[in-house]
Structures are given as structure tokens and as C-alpha cells.
Amino acid sequence: MIRVRFAPSPTGMFHVGGARSALFNWALAEREGGRFVLRVEDTDAARNRPEWTEGIISALAWIGINGENPVFEGPYFQSANEPQHREAVAKLLADGKAYFCDCTREQVQARTGSEHKGYDGHCRDRGLSAGAVRFRTPDEGVVVVDDVVRGRVEFPNDAQEDFVIARGDGSPLYVLANAVDDITQAITHVIRGEEHLSNAARQQLLWPALGATPPVWAHLPVIVNEQRKKLSKRRDKVALESYRDEGYLAEAMVNYLMLLGWGPGDDREIMPWSEMMPLFRLEDVIPSSAFFDEKKLRAFNGEYIRALPPEEFIARCASYLDPSWDLEVFAKVAGLAQTRVAVLSEITANVDFLFLPEPVFDQASWDKGMKNSPKEILTGYLARLETVSFDPESLKTALEEVGTEHGLKLGKAQAPVRVAVTGRTVGLPLFESIEVLGRERTIDRIRTALAKL
Ligand code: GLU
């Protein structure tokens, strides 16, 4: 049975790159009827925080990776496995595959004459019984990491130092703990970001030393931004949580993330998980870097929003609306909004005019809207509003007439009315909005605007 794992370190917000790795693992496990193990690598106590662990678990659940699916196993916590990690170190020592070392970095540098050369093997045969523990790497030959995505990657052994697997205080290092856990959890495929390829070279040696056959390796391409720079939390919006909070739909996010390094093979890009998952093949992942295009993601999200059944759209918008706003009133304009918003949080600015006692005011929008004969337009429209039949067609014709009287096309004539009524220069179709707002409130707002001019 295929067993994959996702092994995040809870040292910050959950990165979209992590989510992509998780999804590729998840797709393979689900398609093959295997298992997906969630293992939280929480051994770096100084950098871990419980809220980040919770954040990762809830963000994974949001994109559908959770215990509701029998493929899911865990979460396990790496810190709980420390006894096994220590045991593995002891066994490697006992077998002569590792040794103690008491060299300081300065001593090593003084001997090798360089801070880049790595460890020189000084303690290999000194037979020490305390200190840091180093793994004895072969002197000759190459380590081959046979990677599904990158092909055969060779690491010459003479460039591989005897790396540390446990600190002087006995605490095991990541490279070892990760391998030991993968072995104990019977992981068959290690699918993770490319930045771990150098760990794979070491782990390719550790697995057999610990009596296990190395897994299938697959190192996924880096994700880059518009400037082709690796996506970084300091520079880019990388937290999955912030996309969720902004109103990206999980379905759209999942769809988009799956395309970072992989594609279903035809021209289709918008494809639900249920169709994508059976098509996913690790062999089809491409090694070149993947561009995280936020604009494209937005466009995807807009498409997913438009495809929602109307009542579902209303339900998903609810958490972005002020709780005091009447959802039945919202429902009257929801259909107009559904075709216009790309992320759910944009809903507020589109509909707040219906709920606030007065439209929002900002000077820039006001100035922009009140450019062309605003007094004349508003006064003329106000006169007609008293008697016009209150449906979008008639409301439009009335404004067209006022515009013609002052030599303005409808587009220009709409601007002052829109700002007077909604406070904004862009928004939902104006005459439908006015219809829902009602005669009395519309008249009121136009009067107020006139008084301000
Ligand atoms: N804990 C590691 C990280 O978050 C992942 C290690 C792995 O996937 O092997 O980068």
C-alpha cells in the first residue's frame, strides 16, 4: 500500500507551497487507495508555536485534507518519537556507522583552512564516547537519488561530509528524525519541496544504514513570484490562511495549487478535485519552477464563485457581511454581485449602500463622481424620481432623458447618481440597485448629496 506523508514544521503561517506539497501527496494517496500521514515536525521547540500547528491543521482541513476521508492518518507529532530517534542514533553508533566528535567549528576551520569545506573526519577513529554524533559517509563513489520528478541526481561522496545526526546533548537532528519517522511510519513515497533534495542525499544513506529500503523520492519544483524569485513570506502573500480569509474558495484554491508543477494534460485548467485527482501522476510533474500567479488565481476564484448555486453564494458571503445586515435584503442583489466579485470579501463594498443609514463617503470618489454637471443631473433626476415607475428600465430611461437635456451620455449622467446613492464610483448595476434601495431612500440620498454640492 502506498503511504505518503506531509510533514510540516509549525514555525509560521501555512505556506501555499506547503499546501501544494500536501495536495500532491493527498492526490496520490487518494487515487491509489493508500494512506496520507500528517506528521507535525515539532522538534524545534524554540521556533514552534501551538497556534501554528492548529493553523496548519485547520488550513489543511479547509482544502479537504482531514480525517473525514479514511485516507487520512494522524496527526502525529514528531516530538513524541524522540525515544526512537535516540535509539536509532545509538544503533548507528553501536554498528560503527556513526561516531562521536568533539571538534568545535573553529577547530575544523583551522584544520581545513576554509569555512566551506565541511568536516574533515578528524574524530572518525578516535573512539570518543561523548560529543556530537556524526554519520560516517562513504569515501568514494556517489549517492544516487532517483527522483521521480528530477530523474537521476548524483551526489559525489567526496563532497558529502560526515554530517551531524545528534547534538552534543544527545538531541537528534532533523535529517535523522525525519528519516527515522518515515521508516517507522512505513512511508513509501517522500514527496516534498525541492529545497529538501540535499537532505535526500543524506537520507539515501541513512535509510539503508537503519536497515530500510529508501523510499520513492519526488522533489517538487520551487514556486516563484512574478519576478521569478522564490516565493517568500517576507516578500509575497504566501499564507494559505490569508487567501481563505480574503474569500478565496477552497475549491478554487485546490484547483489552482494543483497546477503548480502539474497539469491534467489537456487544455482544461478549471477542473474539480474529483476529476483531477484520478488523473494525477507523479511522473507528470515537471521540474522547472512554477509561477504563482495571483491574478490567475483570482480569475479562477471568480469562475468558481459564478458557478455556485445562488443560495450557496449567499451562504458563503454571510461571514463577510455585517451580522446586523438582513440576508433577505442581501438576497435581492446577491445575483448581481455574484457575477462581479472575484473574492468574497469584495462583497461588502458592493452592497453596503443597502444597509448603511448613509452611503460611505470618501472624498476621492466624490470628486470623481461629481465632475460633470452634478447639480443639474441630480436636480433633474430628483424631479423624475417622485413619479417614475420604480423598475430598472424606467429608472434608466428617466436618467437618460435628464442626461440628454444636459448633453451627457448615460454613462456620464450615471456618475453623480451612483456616488450620491452608493458612495462609490463602481458597483452593481445602478438601476437594479436603486430599485432595491427604494424610492424614499433614493430621493433622500440625492437630496443629501445636493445639499453637499
Ligand atoms: N519538516 C520539513 C519542512 O517543513 C519537511 C520535511 C519533509 O517533508 O521531509 O520543511
Q: Is residue 125 part of a domain?
A: no
Q: Is residue 424 part of a domain?
A: yes
Cβ burial, residue 91 (10 Å; 0-12/13-18/19+): middle
Q: Is residue 18 part of a domain?
A: no
Do 423 and 347 reside in the same domain of the chain? Answer: no
Do 435 and 381 reside in the same domain of the chain? Answer: yes
Identify the H or E element spanning 73: strand 72-77
What's the confidence (pLDDT) of residue 267? 85
Residue 215 Cβ < 6 Å to ligand 1: no
Residue 182 Cβ < 6 Å to ligand 1: no
176 alpha carbon to ligand 1 midpoint, in Å? 12
Q: Is residue 287 part of a domain?
A: no
Q: Is residue 35 part of a domain?
A: no
Residue 39 Cβ < 6 Å to ligand 1: no
DSSP letters of 344-361?
GGGHHHHHHHHHSSS---
Give yes or no for residue 45 having a pLDDT over 90: no
Residues 367-407: tens digit of each pLDDT: 999 999 999 999 999 999 999 999 999 999 999 999 999 99
Pocket test for ligand 1, best of 178, 190, 197, 206 (most atoms within 8 A of CB): 178
Residue 194 Cβ < 6 Å to ligand 1: no
Do 369 and 413 reside in the same domain of the chain? Answer: yes
Residue from 173, 214, 217, 228 nearest 192 by CA: 217
Nearest CA to ligand 1 atom 6: 7
How many domains does one find in the chain?
2
pLDDT bin (cut points 50, 70, 90) of residue 114 is: confident
Q: Which domain holds residue 397?
A: 363-452
Its pTM surpasses 0.85: yes
182 alpha carbon to ligand 1 midpoint, in Å? 11
Residue 202 Cβ < 6 Å to ligand 1: no
94 alpha carbon to ligand 1 midpoint, in Å? 28
Choose the final residue of a domain: 354, 386, 413: 354
CATH code of 409's domain:
1.10.10.350
What's the confidence (pLDDT) of residue 99? 98
Choose the final residue of a domain: 334, 354, 374: 354
Let me know: does 213 contact 153? Beta carbons within 8 Å.
no
Do 370 and 439 reside in the same domain of the chain? Answer: yes
118 alpha carbon to ligand 1 midpoint, in Å? 23
Q: Report the catalytic residues.
A: 233
Do 388 and 437 reside in the same domain of the chain? Answer: yes
Nearest CA to ligand 1 atom 7: 7
Give yes or no for residue 283 having a pLDDT over 90: yes
pLDDT bin (cut points 50, 70, 90) of residue 169 is: very high
Cα torsion angle, 348, 349, 351, 355, sign = positive
